[in-house]
């Protein structure tokens, strides 16, 4: 749907939401089961926000002066969500496998064949290991108390009749969404902010604006779809039942009739009381991502920590996206110099000159 009005109708009109969200596919038996699962994971991640805020500040402080992105994004997010994704009491071998999967790029559909092949090689073994662990946890029964991690939340929210393999697949899907979507959103915010601000002085925009504008300018999700429950004439054209009507957040975010200079990265637009067009980085309507607000907070906390008391510059990257199921940034190098190091450098230079 290229027409913005028609696209928004697809996303919001009840006629297009009588079925199931395509995000979960056919892994869950009902829409209510999908909602229950989404909310369970969202609530757990929201409760983890204070711990994440502290961890991401520590991770940013330990980040070297030079780092390779966008792969550093998922790695950073994984480090700060590792214990809530999979509790420290889980088998060490399984935790190592999940870390290897993130390092190999399994959190997004990689645009390059070699990267994709490397990531996909790990998937069967990882899924088998998670399935075994799901079986073990389910065998313990419902007396485990409050969920200790995302896997507990998934198990607790899933109907009992689902197979262990299906539960494992749902967990992997949510794992990838948390680590990958947020990690690459952080990468986009850093890249676009550095490309559109001269090196040296700190950014003049709040992290909140940066994250919102990056998600508008380069939304990670390229396409969202809605299946037709019955034959429909829409936009003057007939469609058969089962047809998927697709909406591109990217196109809606760049509609020149709805946005002021949408081709430009302008974080200051989020300080204006109006003049903003349709903003759907997490979809819209009844199928809006349950974790949208939490995902935005996690992304903003990471960008805030990385920019705190630091000068950031990038090299080797540009704003053209790599579209491969998702909208990925092209590789770039981030150089991060903290103000403490920047102030120390002139003193060291003067001391050297005096010798």
What Å distances lie between residue 114 and 125, 126, 256, CA to CA?
19, 19, 37
Give the C-alpha distances (Å, rounded to integers) separating 200 from 188, 203, 246, 337: 20, 9, 42, 10
How far is Cα 2 from Cα 85, in angstroms, rounded to an integer?
Answer: 37
Distance CA 237, CA 183 (A): 39
Quote the pTM value. 0.91
Residues in the chain: 355
Give the C-alpha separation, 63 to 165, whole Å: 37
Closest CA to 283 of 325, 222, 234: 222
The per-residue pLDDT for 327 is 87
CA distance linking residue 184 with residue 281, whole number of Å: 13
Please provide the DSSP assignment of 268-313 as one string: GGGGSSS------BTB-GGGS-TTHHHHHHHHHHHHHHHHTTEEEE
Cβ–Cβ under 8 Å, residues 52 and 317: no
Q: Which pLDDT tens digits describe the chain residue by residue (355 residues)?
A: 789 999 999 999 888 888 888 889 899 999 999 999 999 999 999 999 999 999 999 999 998 899 999 999 999 999 999 999 999 999 999 999 999 999 988 887 666 667 667 777 888 999 999 999 999 999 988 666 789 999 999 999 999 999 999 999 999 999 999 999 999 999 999 999 999 998 767 889 999 999 999 999 999 888 998 888 889 888 899 999 989 899 999 999 999 999 999 999 999 999 987 768 999 999 999 999 999 999 999 999 999 999 998 999 999 989 999 887 788 999 999 999 987 655 554 444 444 444 4
What's the pLDDT score for residue 144? 64
Distance CA(175)–CA(78), nearest Å, equals 9
Q: What is the pLDDT of residue 338?
A: 86
Instruction: Supply the DSSP symbol for 323.
Output: E
pLDDT in the model for residue 275: 66
Burial environment of residue 137 by CB neighbours within 10 A (0 to 12, 13 to 18, 19 or more): buried
Q: pLDDT value at position 347?
A: 46
| Residue 300 confidence (pLDDT) | 98
How does 335-351 read in b/e, with b if 16+ C-beta sit within 10 Å? bbebeeeeeeeeeeeee
């Amino acid at each position: 749907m290229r027409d913005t009005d028609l696209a928004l109708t697809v996303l919001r009109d009840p006629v297009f939401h009588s079925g199931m969200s395509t995000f979960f596919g056919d892994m869950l038996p009902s829409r209510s089961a999908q909602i229950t699962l989404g909310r369970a994971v969202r609530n757990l991640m929201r409760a983890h926000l204070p711990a994440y805020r502290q961890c991401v500040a520590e991770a940013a402080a330990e980040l070297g002066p030079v780092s390779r992105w966008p792969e550093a994004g998922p790695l950073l997010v994984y480090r700060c969500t590792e214990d809530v994704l999979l509790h420290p009491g889980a088998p060490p071998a399984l935790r190592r496998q999940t870390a290897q999967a993130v390092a190999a790029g399994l959190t997004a559909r990689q645009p390059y064949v070699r990267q994709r092949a490397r990531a996909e090689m790990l998937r069967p073994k990882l899924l088998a290991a998670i399935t075994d662990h799901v079986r073990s946890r389910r065998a313990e029964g419902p007396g485990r108390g409050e969920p200790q991690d995302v896997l507990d939340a998934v198990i607790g929210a899933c109907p009992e009749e689902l197979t262990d393999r299906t539960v494992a697949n749902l967990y992997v899907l949510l794992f990838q969404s948390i680590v990958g979507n947020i990690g690459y959103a952080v990468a986009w915010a850093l890249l676009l902010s550095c490309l559109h601000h001269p090196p040296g002085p700190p950014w003049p925009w709040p992290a909140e604006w940066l994250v919102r504008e990056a998600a508008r300018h380069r939304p990670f999700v390229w396409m969202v779809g809605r299946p037709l429950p019955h034959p429909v004439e829409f936009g003057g054209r007939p469609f058969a039942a089962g047809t998927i009507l697709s909406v591109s957040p990217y196109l809606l975010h760049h509609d020149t009739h709805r946005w002021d200079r949408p081709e430009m990265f302008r974080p200051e637009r989020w300080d204006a009381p109006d003049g903003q067009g349709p903003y759907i980085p997490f979809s819209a309507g009844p199928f809006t991502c349950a974790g949208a607000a939490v995902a935005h907070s996690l992304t903003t906390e990471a960008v805030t920590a990385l920019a705190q008391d630091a000068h950031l510059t990038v090299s080797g990257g540009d704003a053209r996206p790599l579209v491969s199921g998702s909208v990925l940034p092209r590789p770039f190098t981030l150089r991060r110099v903290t103000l403490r190091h920047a102030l120390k450098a002139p003193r060291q230079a003067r001391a050297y000159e005096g010798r």
